[in-house]
Amino acid sequence: MGWISELLKHLNTSRSFVLATFVTSITVLFGNNIFPNLIPKLPNEWQLFVIVGAVFSGTLLLFWIVPFLWKLIFRVFKVNVQKLSASNLSNDEIDFLLFLASVVDKGGNDYLDIDRQINYDLLTVGKLKTVEIVSSLCKKGLVKSSSFDRDLVFFTPNGRKKVLEIKNSQQ
């Protein structure tokens, strides 16, 4: 039974072979109905093997296509939700985006360390509120926290566009 798992492993890496098998078996099965002068009728002794080949390769193709389509649909849905939610920003979120833009403009860094670069004694909001604002902006796809240090915050490409829109609308 080890040969079955080896066969599946090799077929999984050879998608072009599986696609060719599927197209060929479907052509052999139904080609005579569409082009009777071009494709000869399939002998009855071969029908079972061709049907098994079509079902097997078709199932493998579905196993590859369905997750790809699922990810694609989810990504499109997520991007549209982020765009919709990014259009409704609170005043605190707008202020934070403008502050992050000023830090990026003045300093040589593309990020803001919300733990070290912000003096919370001078602000009306504390670190907890700032972390909540950053979390909200991350969900909206405008900023991103570093995977190594969650206090490092930087713009996403959509965040840069949004800040430029905000700056242009304020002028």
Please give the model's pTM, rounded to 2 decimal places: 0.58
**What DSSP state is assigned to residue 121?**
G
Q: Which residues lie across from 112 on neighbouring strands? A: 153
CB 92 within 8 A of CB 125: yes
pLDDT (tens place) for every residue of the chain, 171 residues total:
677 778 777 766 688 888 888 999 999 899 888 888 888 888 889 899 999 999 999 998 898 899 999 999 998 888 777 777 777 888 888 888 888 888 888 876 788 888 777 777 777 778 888 889 888 898 888 889 888 888 889 888 888 888 888 888 887
Q: Where are the domains of the chain?
A: 2-84, 89-170
- Secondary-structure class of domain 89-170 per CATH: mainly alpha
Main-chain dihedrals φ then ψ at residue 144, nearest 5 degrees: -140, 140
Radius of gyration of the chain from its Cα atoms, rounded to whole angstroms: 28
CB 63 within 8 A of CB 12: no
